[in-house]
Amino acid sequence: MRLNGGLIKLIVVNVKSTYPSVLAGVMDLDDATLGDWYQISEDAIRMYGDVIIGVYKERVVSAYDITGHTRDTERQTVSFDGNESKEFGYLIGQRSPASPWTRGQGRPIKYIATDVVRSGEVDVEDVPETPEGRRAVVKGYVLTVDADNIATVEPPEGGVVTVLAAGSSLLAVE
């Protein structure tokens, strides 16, 4: 894997149009994730092309370490070559480490630093569906606080959540 300015970075792709074909058995998961992405620049590949994560309905369905790419200049698409990611394979089944796609968002591609996923160094972001809501992903844990200040925590598989509430005893959920 390359190091880009000290940070390994990844491409997150929304596979909503190809993943149903995977579920139907007519397309391979690697083709759905790695193939034919429109207008990804060489600069973006150089800066973010270490890992590609496939997301379907805000859940990670695939993770590949990128080993190369092929550009079709006529169609303006890029197809990646890759191997199943040993480091980021644990994300499969988890919520996407990137913010959710919003209705009408035309580009199914996002770019994030993998240190966000590895160490939890993450900027808190607005939740598009709820203007006053906020969301953060920290070390695989997804914390969302809605406009009514109701917090939801989704731990990674095997993760433990401890809840402390004013005036109550300690509660641990596994």
Backbone angles phi and psi of 114, in degrees to 5: -70, -15
Q: E strand or H helix at 31, and its extent?
A: helix 29-34
**Domain total in the chain:** 1
Q: Which residues have a Cβ under 8 Å from the Cβ of 5 and sit 6 or more positions away? A: none
Tell whether 172 is covered by a domain. no
Residues 98, 13: contact at Cβ < 8 Å?
A: no
**DSSP reduced 3-state for 106:** coil
Tell whether 149 is covered by a domain. yes
Q: Which residues have a Cβ under 8 Å from the Cβ of 128 and sit 6 or more positions away? A: 99, 100, 102
Residue 93 region by backbone torsions, left for phi larger than 0, else alpha for psi between -120 and 50, else beta: left
CA dihedral of residues 145, 100, 56, 173 (deg, nearest 10)? -20
Tell whether 35 is covered by a domain. yes
Question: What pLDDT score does 4 carry?
Answer: 41
Question: What pLDDT score does 117 carry?
Answer: 64
Note down pLDDT in tens along the chain; length 174 residues: 343 444 567 899 999 999 999 999 999 999 999 988 988 888 888 888 889 999 999 899 999 999 999 999 999 999 999 999 988 888 898 888 887 887 777 668 888 876 656 655 455 555 555 556 677 777 777 777 777 777 788 887 788 888 776 655 555 555
Tell whether 168 is covered by a domain. no
Q: What is the model's pTM?
A: 0.68
Beta strand pairing call for 125-127 and 130-138 = antiparallel
Tell whether 143 is covered by a domain. yes
Tell whether 120 is covered by a domain. yes
Tell whether 138 is covered by a domain. yes
Radius of gyration of the chain (CA): 17
Tell whether 174 is covered by a domain. no
Domain that holds residue 26: 9-162
From residue 6, give the alpha-carbon distance in Å to each of 68, 114, 116, 128, 139. 20, 11, 13, 31, 19
Beta strand pairing call for 141-145 and 59-72 = unpaired
* Among the listed residues 98, 99, 154, the one whose alpha carbon sits nearest the alpha carbon of residue 128: 99
